[in-house]
Amino acid sequence: MIDALGRPQSLLLLGGTSEIALATARAWADAKPHVTLAARPGPARDDAAAALTSEGFEVDVVDFEAEDTESHPALIDRVASRRDIDVALVCFGVLGDEEEAWTDHAAAVRLARVNYTGAVSVGVCLASVVRRQGHGTIVALSSVAGERVRRSNFVYGSTKAGMDGFFLGLGEALREHGGRVLVVRPGFVHTKMTAGRPAAPLSVTADQVAEAIVKGVADGSDLVWVPGLMRGVMSGLRHVPRPLFRRLPL
């Protein structure tokens, strides 16, 4: 259960090698929740598990492939059978090459499968667990890219728009069952995924996103922007007429 201070006893990290996921676990270090790392087997997962274990966390690892949606129900049921899932982070995704993404069929389909289909798949499975438990918070890592899809990365942005809408709706559906969904919309985050790309204004770090997630879970929030100023920026951009929006350096 999540205690009175908003600290969970157990975490499921779907995309367990994500820098944001790991930073979020560390942000709850004082509570030392049990952590289940769901990720592809390999050195990255081994290193992440070893690092958290050395910091005092009890860690399990499970094999997870976002595109293998048929495996998701059994995987999440297996994790939930060991202990309640207090907080589950849906933090996997791919960015891809923006121009390849709309000119290469395989690249576009993979982005959609991972970022949208995979996210919806685990969302439905987690919702089933939350209804059964009568409690639990699902944290969905969205992006400001989904708020108004831009020419520069419209395939990625469209997948985030879809998953963002799904999890906002899922949050409404789970309320009557004791569950919550927190949708997190960060701007540009300095991680391995964005390494080598020019940083956008109001860029943040994985630790800053983690702090926002921890606060959002404690506050029972439905939606947080990281940084908070992004809410005003994107609200303004959403209403810019398309001919003018087209001229902006976005």
Q: Which residues are catalytic?
A: 156
- CA-nearest of 83, 85, 64, 89 to 74 is 64
Q: What is the dihedral of CA 171, 115, 67, 47, to 10 degrees?
A: -90
Beta bridge partners of 88: 12, 138
**H or E element that contains 141:** strand 137-141
Both tokens of residue 85?
A: 């899932």
Interatomic CA distance for residues 40 and 192, integer angstroms: 17
Strand, coil or helix: what is 121?
helix
